[in-house]
Structures are given as structure tokens and as C-alpha cells.
């Protein structure tokens, strides 16, 4: 397809994760709700997920993942020019979880803010960060995806509680310097359809429906989801965003090394692969071991793919996501 466009040039200096030690298996869930391990594996591909301890909030996991990413990058957290945290399960409604991450890392001064775009959040944050670097506003940015979904899941609702897990992934990126090999986002593509907000949301706790005894008793502070509707829209959104990103990067599916989609469900990921014409063997999945960790899923999968040597410098990777909103986003990344 010719020479790909340069896109937004940056280098991924390091990645890191933080995953709670506690593992919740499908067999454990059989004892909690009316389900079977087989149903969960067949319908979702998930075998186990990590669950945070009661005193662990999103910023605890986010800060640890970012510290690990900084260590891998060979720099200190106080050398970052900005910290962006993508999350749907913030520590508090205000301030942002990014500010709590700063506090935990004992750093100050750099910009810190959250991106609330559900499971697409980390990709949104990457797009924002690459523009901040391209605009010269920052040189080095820490992008975190962190979630404690277990604290907003209704543990009596078998159709949602089996899906989610907790964890954080972080990536440190640096603006391209002269002489750096080409790397960064060749193209990016993002969007949202807020008309679909009610198909996946947490009804209470915000200004639409502030917390009251009735909202707590009515279980309205938990994930409400129309599973089938989300499923179909997810496949369409992720596949078309990936296809558009490939087209504007002028890259063919043959040229890409891996597809790393948002890790919601094996069937959604496979259907996305098929619909966007990407060979199934290029699909990278970790959903069996972590479940759906929302905004943390892509940075955790990216970290694992790098750790396993599945991606090398110069390789092209397609990232694609969808989430509450509904939001979607995709990008072609040259590592
Ligand atoms: C949730 C999901 C796995 C359900 O799979 P599905 O094939 O659509 O299943 P259905 O919704 O048709 O449900 C079929 C039956 O299984 C039942 N069921 C739901 N969860 C179950 C569970 N954990 N164990 C056993 N049965 C279950 C349903 O109650 C339903 O029973 P019914 O036919 O008697 O009403 C699927 O819709 C999905 O993955 N949706 C997208 C969710 C997602 O990714 N959300 C995050 C977005 S970021």
C-alpha cells in the first residue's frame, strides 16, 4: 500500500502492570451465583480474573503499574511531564485518580488528569498523549489504564459479575528525538455515540442520581448492561475502527504483527478479527487469565505481548477498543 504516513512519532520507553494476587476462578463463581465454569468459558473465554483486596483502590494499582513502567523506562516518576489515567472506577468523583496516583508516587507539578471513556479509555489517552507530544507541550508522559471493577459489579448478577476483573497497566512514552527509528501512532481513529449511554452504565452516584439509601438498596451503584446489544455493537465498532485506522495508515493486514483488541470476550475479539480481515493467528488475547479489566485491558495485554517477545521494535500492531458511552477507538502503532 506504499509508504505509510509518519503519523505521531513517539517511543514507548517502558510498560508495567499491577495485578492483584487474589485469583477468582470460574469454579469459585459456581459457588457464588447460578452458573457453571463451562458456561463462562464457552460464552466468554474467561477462566479466571484478579480481585483487589478491600483496601486497594484504583490509584493503588495505577501507581504501582506506573512505577513499574518508569523502572522499565529507566526514569523516575518525577521526570514525567504528565500523568493520564484512564478509568471508569475512579478512587473518588473528585479529584481525579491521576491526582491520587501522584500522591501515592509522592510526585507533584506535572499535569495529571483522568480520561473517562470506559474500556476505550487507554486508547483515548494514548491519542491525547501523542497529540500533547506532537504539540511540544510535553516530552514524556505516563499513560495508565486502571480499574477496580470488582467494587462496582453486582455480585448477585450472573450476567455481569463473571465478566470483569481488576488490574492496571501503564506505558511511558517519549516524544521522538532526532535519530530515533520511526515509531508511534501511524493513524488513530476514535469516536462515540452517547445516545447509547443507557446500554452500559452505572446509574447512581453522580449528579443524575446522587447516592441515597434507596439507590444503595436498589443496587444502582453497580454495572447495568444489556449484554447482547453491547456484544453486537462492540464487534461492529471495533472492526470498523480498526479497518479505518489501517486504511488511513495505508497498512495491510499482512503487514501487521498483532491485533490487540480490548479484552472483553473471546467471541467479540474473534468476530472483530474476522470482520476486519485480520488472520486469527494475529489475535493476541489475555482475557482467559484476567477477564475484562476495562481501560486496563489493552495496556496489560500490550505489556504481556512485549514480555513474551511477541512484538519487536519496528513491528506494526493494531489496537482497537470499545466501551461504555458507547465509545470506540483504534490505532496502528509502530512499536
Ligand atoms: C454477557 C454475554 C457473555 C452473554 O452471552 P449471550 O450469549 O449473549 O447470552 P444471553 O444474553 O443470550 O443469555 C443466555 C442465557 O444465559 C443466561 N446467563 C447469563 N449469564 C449467565 C451465567 N453467568 N451463567 C449461566 N447462564 C447465564 C441468561 O440469563 C440467559 O438465560 P435465559 O435464556 O433463560 O434468559 C454476552 O452478551 C456478552 O459478552 N456481551 C458483551 C458484554 C461486554 O463485553 N461488556 C463489556 C463491554 S466493555
Instruction: Determine which one of 70, 119, 161, 273 is catalytic.
Output: 119
pLDDT tens for residues 60-100?
A: 999 999 999 999 999 999 999 999 999 999 999 999 999 99
- Fold classification of 184-334 (topology level): Peroxisomal Thiolase; Chain A, domain 1 (3.40.47)
Q: Is 262 a catalytic residue?
A: yes
What the block records as the C-alpha cell of 124 is 483515548
**What is the pairing mode between strands 166-175 and 8-18?**
antiparallel
Q: At what angle do helices 227-249 and 266-275 cross, to 10 degrees?
A: 40
Residue 264 per-residue DSSP state: S
**265 labelled catalytic:** no
* Largest interatomic CA distance in the chain: 61
Q: Does ligand 1 have an atom closer than 6 angstroms to the CB of 323?
A: yes
**pLDDT at position 7, please?**
83
Place of cell 500522591: 103
- With a CB cutoff of 8 Å and minimum separation 6, the contacts of 277 are 243, 253
Q: Which residue among the candidates 26, 262, 273, 303 is catalytic per the annotation?
A: 262
Kindly report, as residue ranges, where domains of CATH 3.40.47.10 are found in the chain. Answer: 8-175, 184-334
Residues 6+ apart with CB under 8 A from 266: 44, 45, 46, 285, 287, 288
Contact 203, 219 (CB under 8 A): no
Q: Which of 283, 265, 293, 291 is nearest to 319 (CA)?
A: 283
Atom 2 (ligand 1): residue with closest C-alpha? Answer: 227
DSSP three-state, residue 8: strand
DSSP helix/strand/coil, 182: coil
Rounded Cα distance between 44 and 21, Å, is 22
- First-to-last CA distance in the chain? 19
Cis previous bond, 326, omega within 30: yes
- Secondary structure of residue 118 in the 3-state scheme: helix
Note if the pTM is more than 0.85.
Answer: yes
Residue 6: its pLDDT value, please? 72
Closest CA to 238 of 214, 274, 198: 274
Give the Å distances, CA to CA, from 56 to 67, 147, 156, 201, 212. Answer: 16, 11, 22, 23, 24
Q: What are phi and psi of 314, to 5 degrees?
A: 95, -20
Ligand 1 centre to CA of 227 (Å) is 6
Burial (CB count within 10 angstroms: exposed 0-12, middle 13-18, buried 19+), residue 203:
middle
Residue 3 has a pLDDT of: 58
What are 16's three cell numbers? 508495567
Residue 195 annotated among the catalytic residues of the structure: no
Ligand 1 atom with minimal separation from the 225 CA: 45
Intervals of the chain under pLDDT 70: 1-5
Q: What is the dotted CATH code of the domain comprising 8-175?
A: 3.40.47.10
Catalytic residue among 26, 68, 116, 292: 292
Amino acid at each position: 500500500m506504499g509508504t505509510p504516513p509518519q503519523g505521531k512519532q513517539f517511543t514507548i520507553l517502558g510498560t508495567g502492570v499491577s495485578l492483584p494476587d487474589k485469583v477468582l476462578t470460574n469454579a469459585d463463581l459456581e459457588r457464588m451465583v447460578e452458573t457453571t465454569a463451562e458456561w463462562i468459558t464457552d460464552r466468554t473465554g474467561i477462566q479466571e480474573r484478579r480481585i483487589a483486596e478491600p483496601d486497594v483502590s484504583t490509584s493503588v494499582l495505577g501507581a504501582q503499574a506506573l512505577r513499574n513502567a518508569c523502572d522499565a523506562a529507566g526514569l523516575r516518576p518525577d521526570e514525567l511531564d504528565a500523568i493520564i489515567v484512564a478509568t471508569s472506577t475512579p478512587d473518588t468523583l473528585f479529584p481525579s485518580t491521576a491526582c491520587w496516583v501522584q500522591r501515592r508516587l509522592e510526585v507533584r507539578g506535572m499535569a495529571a488528569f483522568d480520561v473517562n471513556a470506559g474500556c476505550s479509555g487507554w486508547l483515548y489517552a494514548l491519542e491525547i498523549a501523542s497529540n500533547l507530544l506532537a504539540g511540544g507541550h510535553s516530552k514524556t508522559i505516563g499513560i495508565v489504564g486502571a480499574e477496580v471493577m470488582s467494587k462496582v459489579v453486582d455480585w448477585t448478577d450472573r450476567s455481569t459479575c463473571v465478566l470483569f476483573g481488576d488490574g492496571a497497566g501503564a506505558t511511558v512514552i517519549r516524544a521522538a528525538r532526532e535519530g530515533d527509528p520511526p515509531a508511534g501512532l501511524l493513524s488513530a481513529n476514535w469516536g462515540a455515540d452517547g445516545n447509547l449511554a443507557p446500554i452500559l452504565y452505572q446509574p447512581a452516584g453522580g449528579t443524575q442520581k446522587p447516592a441515597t439509601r434507596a439507590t444503595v438498596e436498589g443496587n444502582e451503584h453497580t454495572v447495568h448492561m444489556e449484554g447482547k446489544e453491547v456484544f453486537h455493537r462492540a464487534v461492529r465498532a471495533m472492526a470498523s475502527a480498526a479497518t479505518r485506522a489501517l486504511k488511513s495508515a495505508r497498512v495491510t493486514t499482512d503487514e501487521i504483527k498483532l491485533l490487540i483488541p480490548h479484552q472483553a470476550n473471546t467471541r467479540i475479539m474473534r468476530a472483530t478479527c474476522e470482520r476486519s480481515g485480520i488472520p486469527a493467528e494475529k489475535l493476541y488475547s489475555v482475557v482467559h487469565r484476567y477477564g475484562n479489566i476495562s481501560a486496563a485491558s489493552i495496556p496489560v495485554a500490550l505489556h504481556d505481548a512485549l514480555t513474551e517477545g511477541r512484538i519487536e521494535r519496528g513491528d506494526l500492531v493494531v489496537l482497537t477498543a470499545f466501551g461504555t458511552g458507547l465509545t470506540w477507538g483504534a490505532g496502528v502503532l509502530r512499536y
